[in-house]
Structure 1
Amino acid sequence: MIAPWTPAGGTDTPLGGVRIPFPTVDEVSRHCLSDDEPESVHIEVHLPGRLDPARLRAAFRRALLTHSRVLVREVPGRRHRRSFAWELTGEPDTDPVGLAGRGPDALAAARARALSACPPLTLSPPLRLEVVETGGGTGAPEPSAAGEASRPGTVLLLTMHHTALDAPSGLRLLATTAEQYGGVDPAPVTGRVRPGRPAPAPSGTGRAVRTRPVRVAPDSRPEPVRARAVGNGMLQTDLPVPRRVPRDGGHSPWTVNDQLLVATSLMVTRWNASRGRQAGSVRLTMPVDDRPRGTEMPMGNGTRLVEVAMTPEDPHDADLLLGERPDPAAVVRLLRTTARRTHALKSAQGAPLGAGAGLLTAPLLPVGIRGVLTRGARRVAAPWMSTALVTNIGRVPYALDFGDAGRATAVWFSAPARMPRGLSVAAASTSGRLHVTLRWSRALLDDAAGADLMGLFAASLSTTSLTSAGANAPGTGTGPGAATGEMDATAADAEATPARDHASPGPGGPYHRATRHPDPTPGGARSAQDHHKRSS
């Protein structure tokens, strides 16, 4: 993996005028930008109190100077130049902090801007931070934020251009802002600890047979209408963290990240079946992040993307997973298979986007020609692109304590959902709750279809939780692949949890460690709005 650039010594220092060639991930993103589907990442931090605007501006500025790799802009140039480059500015070109007003209408407008208006790459930093005061508006709260918008508080909404920064970088920046605002020293953040285990056989990754993955079936709008739709839609919900079955040593044979992958696979399969689509191979893209999460964290796009095949090892399980109530033993077998595959993929080393992307971005040809080749390769590879993107930060590892404004009560974020995938699922956990964002391309789904899909996801995640709860119960099947309490040597990794009083349990995943979680409330198939109202 090619790590983002950092100055010598591994920490960011205020530098100006230094130029950094675009890493592979940044260049591929830059070549494929589209006005119809902005390449934005958004993070929401919900606080119970009010913030002082001047004090927040000063704290955010100090955070930017601490992580000076964020203070970049694209160096202008002609199409015949050999590479794109970032220029470190040392100081912000503009004030990135803005006051977005008060109430649910202001929050809805800020979210809409996050999905439609990327910060420009020509100004440093390529991000903006909007401050929304909740609980003061006259309009009815949004269904996706019913509990948050009705109470007095503040939402910090950070929007970043994904060509320059990813969600973990943005979260680290907000954590440093909280430390500066609250006047507290940075708390140590335990790094990922991955137990050394023998790597599974190559077939354990599910990559032995390359099949064309299924696409998410579009909604019922006529195809010409869908083709003219632009932008992304988004829906957020608050769910219980799913239960996992413990094994010897107190760890689970699968992580919550594995449950999120299985739930997304079940959601897509059931959605497509309800629309008359044939079942097929679901493949999900999963980011893997091995960076440290302390103040020395390299900023930029520091994850590598891997694809997880969600095909059951036993072909007969495909039919058992299609029903409204998937067979529990089949779900357990898929969880175990997924855990083996994700462990193998996280343990392996590789380029962020694979060897092909590295070849396309090699500075052998001018950037204009490389851009044409990259976009052409993307169109050719579109039928083999994965079904959806599943991004799991896990339990938020930072206190996000803003002093008299309080600690974060919820953290939501979203990743781009460009076609041909057209769908991304993002999850983070605070205070023992799972904050899930579903984001979709409007060329694929409308808002009503997005809400139905979120309801299916909630029901599917509940299925993996109920399966885990009963996996060790008497009477559980004992055939091949049936759930037991035995230690699985090829199970997903469990990482150490730091003993910090602010740290709430949350999901383990490629961004996070595995921990023990509270019991979820069993949920059936219902709309995301109803689910949120009940869980609030």
Structure 2
Amino acid sequence: MTSSWTAAGRGASTSPGGVRIPFPATDEVSRHCVSDDEPETVHIEVHLPGRLDPARLRTAFRRALLMHPRVLMREVPGRRRRQSFVWELTGEPDSDPVRFARPGPDALGRARARALTECPSLALSPPMRLDVIEVGGVKAAGELPEAGLPGATRTVLLLTMHHTALDAGSGLRVLATTAEQYGGSAALPVPGPVRPAPSGPAATGGTGRVVCTRPVRIAPDYRPEPVRARAAGNGMLLAELPVPPRVGGTGGLAPWTVNDQLLVAATLMVGRWNVSQGRPAGPVRITMPVDDRPRGREMPMGNGTRLVEVPMTSEDPRDSDLLLGERPDLAAVTRLLRATARRTRALKSAHGAPLGPGTSLLTTPLLPVGLRGTLTRGARRAAAPWTSTVLVTNIGRLPYALDFGDAGRAKAVWFSAPARMPRGLSVAAASTGGRLHVTLRWSRALLGDASGAYLTGLFEQALSATSQVTRPGSNAGGSGPEADVPEADVPEADVTTPDATTANAEAPGARRKARRPGGPHDRDAPCPDPTPSGDRSARQNLARPS
């Protein structure tokens, strides 16, 4: 999730087939650490209210690929003694990446499972695949409720990419171009990200990396150690939540953004989970991707974000207990939000090496790639105790209409990032149609499905707590640049999905402590649903590999 396009050069996006580009540093690090047990996939899921014409979609997707030729790449095979990995731009797809899934009630579940377990090949261009799943009539197993006429055929587009080559921003841009080609609508200007001016030190180095404090790890669940050791791959859960209401401030500027609220919610989630597992809360550090690329058709493809690390500590050490009590203290939440906003503003406005100077040193082509790979994997193991607690990726309000003409506009868009150990957990969010679409993805070597669902419930509760301080009568206020303005909050109907594992959090203020799934005498028991009956505000579904 880093700047491959800057190293490859902007001109590479318009290069003809046959051009070869050495792997940028971040692509090489990802390539060295590829593992069959934890596939390095990025998944993007788009829900449409109508049906797509197969031939027309194939043509539109192919045209989109040709309009973004930097996506049409494959790894050039070579020996371990070569000096670098190399991408070859092919100019044409090696095969048809579009696949229409066999209809059935479990079609969407199968596609999601495949997105978590099977990486697209780096040896074929492009390193992505597009699964098209049609759902009609009664809600299918694994389908989230969609607005539309009963019995109407609906479509889910599921794009899976190899993260060594591409990131979520690149995949969304390809899907946006596909929608333009399919629907025949002219592309509207897409504004690029607006970064705030520096407002003070971020309490980190120039790259945003913090190495002086060892962060807390997500506590593993109570499955027996041999069971966790044999577990492979990722689990995933999708949730639809209200967008936190806009924060009032001075001069029309908000003191914090939705992104800051997501970071604080993830911090509270980790703290409550660890306490429920009998572990200390500890200092949380979050890795946050920052994408400075333009959003139009000229957007450079590849891995185009830089990673910064945000220390999630309150300026008042007494706030730790106040934040993790039965009812998070709103004043303490407000102080953490303000501190987080100051740090993220400074980190977004600063510039530095995408993965730090150490990575640049490891990938310098002074040694053969085989030896560099050994050193990179060794450095990764040595740095494991200082790896951040969780990865939080927020695209914000989706900048594209994703209008597929007679098939309709996207009603919901989810995406997820890999959740490899030792971090083992990633949270991804995007806003579409006034709703916040959140994906939690975890390593099965860390958490089971029931624990992942419970953790998602804690995240919903924590995000709701950050929204409490923004309501009239609260003591929120202040000023600061507003990097991402949330969409209007839209009330949601009380809907649950058949055949879905629902895990909603208790309402803020409910007198119930978070506890671990099952007790000491029932370690295999499912996680309790932390939401009281009748207070379901999210629609969620667990993706289980078949």
Is the 1:133–1:152 contact (alpha carbons within 8 Å) kept by the matching residues of 2? yes
1:494 aligns with 2:482: yes
Alpha-carbon shift at residue 344 of structure 1 (Å): 1.0
Distance in 1 between residues matched to 2:62 and 2:202, nearest whole Å: 49
Is the 1:213–1:282 contact (alpha carbons within 8 Å) kept by the matching residues of 2? yes
Moved more, 120-129 or 201-210: 201-210
Alpha-carbon shift at residue 342 of structure 1 (Å): 0.7
- SS of equivalent to 1:212: coil
- Show the counterpart of 1:361: 363
- Show the counterpart of 1:428: 430
- SS of equivalent to 1:233: strand
Distance in 1 between residues matched to 2:256 and 2:361, nearest whole Å: 35
Paired amino acid for 2:389: T
- Show the counterpart of 2:239: 237
- SS of equivalent to 2:470: helix
- Alignment match of 2:396 (pick from 372, 394, 397): 394
- SS of equivalent to 1:12: helix
Q: Deviation digits for residues 368-426 of structure 1, max 9, x if unmatched?
A: 00000000000000010001100001110001000000000000000000001110000
- SS of equivalent to 1:235: strand
- Show the counterpart of 1:26: 27
- Alignment match of 2:450 (pick from 423, 434, 448): 448
1:290 aligns with 2:292: yes
Is the 2:209–2:356 contact (alpha carbons within 8 Å) kept by the matching residues of 1? no
1:372 aligns with 2:343: no
- Show the counterpart of 1:479: none
Paired amino acid for 2:141: P
Is the 2:4–2:26 contact (alpha carbons within 8 Å) kept by the matching residues of 1? no
- Show the counterpart of 2:506: 524
- Show the counterpart of 2:133: 132
- Show the counterpart of 1:56: 57
1:108 aligns with 2:113: no
1:6/1:378 CA distance change after superposition, 3 Å: closer
Alpha-carbon shift at residue 152 of structure 1 (Å): 3.0
1:8/1:469 CA distance change after superposition, 3 Å: same
Is the 1:104–1:141 contact (alpha carbons within 8 Å) kept by the matching residues of 2? yes
Distance in 1 between residues matched to 2:74 and 2:325, nearest whole Å: 51
Is the 2:267–2:284 contact (alpha carbons within 8 Å) kept by the matching residues of 1? yes
1:220 aligns with 2:222: yes
1:485 aligns with 2:485: no
Alpha-carbon shift at residue 103 of structure 1 (Å): 4.6
Distance in 1 between residues matched to 2:22 and 2:278, nearest whole Å: 48
1:361/1:197 CA distance change after superposition, 3 Å: closer
Distance in 2 between residues matched to 1:140 and 1:57, nearest whole Å: 24
Paired amino acid for 1:284: I
1:383/1:141 CA distance change after superposition, 3 Å: same
What are the equivalent positions in structure 2 for 1:438-477 lying under 5 Å apart? 438-470=440-472, 473=473
- Show the counterpart of 2:144: 145
Is the 2:198–2:349 contact (alpha carbons within 8 Å) kept by the matching residues of 1? no
Q: Deviation digits for residues 153-196 of structure 1, max 9, x if unmatched?
A: 10000000000000000000000000000112211001122343
Q: Deviation digits for residues 268-316 of structure 1, max 9, x if unmatched?
A: 0000001110121111100000000000000000001111111111100
- Show the counterpart of 1:321: 323
- SS of equivalent to 1:408: coil
Is the 1:38–1:118 contact (alpha carbons within 8 Å) kept by the matching residues of 2? yes
Is the 1:267–1:457 contact (alpha carbons within 8 Å) kept by the matching residues of 2? yes
1:192/1:399 CA distance change after superposition, 3 Å: same
Is the 2:146–2:411 contact (alpha carbons within 8 Å) kept by the matching residues of 1? no
Q: Deviation digits for residues 337-363 of structure 1, max 9, x if unmatched?
A: 000111111111111101000100010
CA-atom RMSD in angstroms: 2.5
Paired amino acid for 2:165: A
Distance in 1 between residues matched to 2:452 and 2:259, nearest whole Å: 22
TM-score, reference length from structure 2:
0.87
Distance in 1 between residues matched to 2:217 and 2:203, nearest whole Å: 26
Paired amino acid for 1:289: D
Is the 1:11–1:297 contact (alpha carbons within 8 Å) kept by the matching residues of 2? no
TM-score, reference length from structure 1:
0.89
1:379/1:75 CA distance change after superposition, 3 Å: same
Is the 2:3–2:303 contact (alpha carbons within 8 Å) kept by the matching residues of 1? no
- SS of equivalent to 2:114: helix
Paired amino acid for 2:93: P
1:195/1:450 CA distance change after superposition, 3 Å: closer
Q: Deviation digits for residues 196-252 of structure 1, max 9, x if unmatched?
A: 344436469997772111111111101111011001000001000012421123221
- Show the counterpart of 1:122: 123
Moved more, 147-156 or 300-309: 147-156
Moved more, 185-194 or 114-123: 185-194
1:78/1:463 CA distance change after superposition, 3 Å: same
- Alignment match of 2:385 (pick from 363, 380, 383): 383
Is the 1:6–1:69 contact (alpha carbons within 8 Å) kept by the matching residues of 2? no
Is the 1:217–1:277 contact (alpha carbons within 8 Å) kept by the matching residues of 2? yes
Distance in 1 between residues matched to 2:400 and 2:159, nearest whole Å: 16
Is the 2:442–2:452 contact (alpha carbons within 8 Å) kept by the matching residues of 1? yes
- SS of equivalent to 2:197: coil
Paired amino acid for 1:485: G
What are the equivalent positions in structure 2 for 1:198-347 lying under 5 Å apart? 198-200=199-201, 202=203, 210-347=212-349
- SS of equivalent to 1:426: strand
Is the 1:452–1:528 contact (alpha carbons within 8 Å) kept by the matching residues of 2? no
What are the equivalent positions in structure 2 for 1:93-104 lying under 5 Å apart? 93-104=94-105
- SS of equivalent to 2:440: strand
Alpha-carbon shift at residue 486 of structure 1 (Å): 3.1
User: Share of identical aligned residues, percent?
Assistant: 69
Distance in 2 between residues matched to 1:415 and 1:532, nearest whole Å: 29
Alpha-carbon shift at residue 146 of structure 1 (Å): 4.0
Is the 2:10–2:300 contact (alpha carbons within 8 Å) kept by the matching residues of 1? no
- Show the counterpart of 1:155: 156
Paired amino acid for 2:442: W
Moved more, 519-528 or 292-301: 519-528
Is the 2:196–2:345 contact (alpha carbons within 8 Å) kept by the matching residues of 1? no
Paired amino acid for 1:105: D
Alpha-carbon shift at residue 84 of structure 1 (Å): 0.4
Is the 1:42–1:414 contact (alpha carbons within 8 Å) kept by the matching residues of 2? yes
Structure 2: gaps spanning 5 or more residues: 493-503, 508-528, 540-546
Is the 1:98–1:129 contact (alpha carbons within 8 Å) kept by the matching residues of 2? yes
Structure 1: gaps spanning 5 or more residues: 477-482, 496-507, 509-513
Paired amino acid for 1:494: E
Distance in 1 between residues matched to 2:64 and 2:130, nearest whole Å: 12
1:182/1:119 CA distance change after superposition, 3 Å: same
Moved more, 367-376 or 100-109: 100-109
- Show the counterpart of 2:525: none
Paired amino acid for 2:179: A
Q: Deviation digits for residues 99-155 of structure 1, max 9, x if unmatched?
A: 013354100000000000000000000000010002346x8533x724479863100
1:227/1:38 CA distance change after superposition, 3 Å: same
- Alignment match of 1:349 (pick from 334, 351, 364): 351
Is the 1:103–1:135 contact (alpha carbons within 8 Å) kept by the matching residues of 2? no
Moved more, 159-168 or 319-328: 319-328
Name the count of aligned residue pairs. 503
